[in-house]
C-alpha cells in the first residue's frame, strides 16, 4: 500500500481525473479508470469525493480558479492595454491547448447546475477583467471609444470561438496572431496600429 497523505491522495485523484475526463469526456469516464490512474482503489476515491459529479466540480473549480489567478497575474502590471489584451489572449490559448479535452466537456453532457453557476461566475469575473483593460485603453486614448460592457462580452465570446476551433479541429485553424488581429482590429484606433 502506497501510503500517502489525504492531500496527496486527493490530488492524485484530481490529476488522474483531468487526464481521463480530457481523453474521454464526462460520461465515458469511469471511476474505475480514474482510480487506477491515481493509484488508488475504487472505494478510495469515495473517501475523498462524494461522487463523480463532485470530482468534476472540484476539478472545474480548481482549474477556473487557477486560470483566474494566472490571467490576473499576467495582466496586472502591464501598462499598454493592447499588450494586456495580447497577453490575455495568449494565456487563454495556452490554457486551451493544455486542457483541450476538458474544454470539450463544457457542453451540457452533464447538467450539473453547480457547474453552470461556477462557470457563469467565472466568465463574469473575466468580463470584469477585460472591461478594466478596455476602460484603461479608452481613457488613455489607445482604444476607440465604445460600449465597454458590450465589447468585453464580444471579446470573451470571440475568444471562446477561437478556443473551441483550436480544440476541436486538431489541425488548428488559426494562430494567435490572427486572433490578436481580429480582436484588436476592432479596438484600436484606425491608423494607430
Counting residues that bind DNA (by CB under 7 A) gives 23
CA 156 to chain centre: 11
Report the C-alpha gap between 16 and 20 in whole angstroms. 6
Which option in DNA, a copy of itself, none does residue 18 bind, with CB closer than 5 to 8 A by kind?
A: none
- Report the interface residues with a copy of itself, using CB under 8 A: 23-28, 101, 104-111, 120, 123, 150-151, 153-154, 156-165, 168-169, 173-174, 178-179, 181-182, 185-186, 190-191
Give the Cα separation of 133 and 23 in Å (integer): 35
Cβ atoms of 32 and 44 within 8 Å: the answer is: no
Helix axes 81-98, 113-140, angle to 10 degrees: 150
Partner that binds at residue 6, options a copy of itself, DNA, none, CB closer than 5 to 8 Å by kind: DNA
DSSP label at residue 80: -
Q: Does 139 bind DNA (CB under 7 A)?
A: no
Question: Does position 111 bind DNA by CB under 7 A?
Answer: no
For the chain, the C-alpha Rg in angstroms (whole number) is 19
- With CB cut-offs between 5 and 8 Å by kind, which of a copy of itself, DNA, none does residue 110 bind? a copy of itself
Binding partner of residue 2 among DNA, a copy of itself, none, CB cut-off 5 to 8 Å per kind: DNA
3 near DNA, rule: CB under 7 A: yes
Q: Is 50 in the site for DNA (CB under 7 A)?
A: yes
Cα-to-chain-centroid distance, residue 86: 16
Binds DNA (CB under 7 A): choice among 15, 19, 53, 106:
53
| DSSP state, residue 189 | P
Amino acid at each position: 500500500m502506497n501510503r500517502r497523505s489525504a492531500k496527496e491522495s486527493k490530488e492524485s485523484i484530481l490529476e488522474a481525473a483531468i487526464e481521463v475526463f480530457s481523453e474521454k469526456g464526462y460520461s465515458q469516464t469511469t471511476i474505475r479508470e480514474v482510480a487506477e490512474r491515481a493509484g488508488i482503489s475504487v472505494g478510495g476515491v469515495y473517501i475523498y469525493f462524494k461522487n463523480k459529479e463532485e470530482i468534476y466540480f472540484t476539478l472545474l473549480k480548481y482549474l477556473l480558479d487557477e486560470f483566474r489567478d494566472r490571467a490576473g497575474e499576467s495582466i496586472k502590471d502591464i501598462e499598454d492595454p493592447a499588450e494586456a489584451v495580447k497577453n490575455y489572449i495568449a494565456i487563454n490559448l495556452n490554457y486551451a491547448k493544455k486542457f483541450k479535452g476538458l474544454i470539450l466537456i463544457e457542453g451540457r453532457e452533464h447538467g450539473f447546475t453547480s457547474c453552470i453557476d461556477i462557470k457563469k461566475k467565472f466568465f463574469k469575473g473575466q468580463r470584469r477583467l477585460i472591461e478594466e483593460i478596455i476602460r484603461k485603453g479608452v481613457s488613455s486614448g489607445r482604444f476607440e471609444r465604445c460600449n465597454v460592457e458590450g465589447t468585453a462580452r464580444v471579446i470573451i465570446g470571440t475568444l471562446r470561438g477561437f478556443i473551441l476551433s483550436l480544440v476541436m479541429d486538431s489541425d488548428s485553424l488559426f494562430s494567435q496572431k490572427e486572433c490578436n488581429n481580429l480582436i484588436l482590429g476592432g479596438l484600436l484606433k484606425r491608423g494607430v496600429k
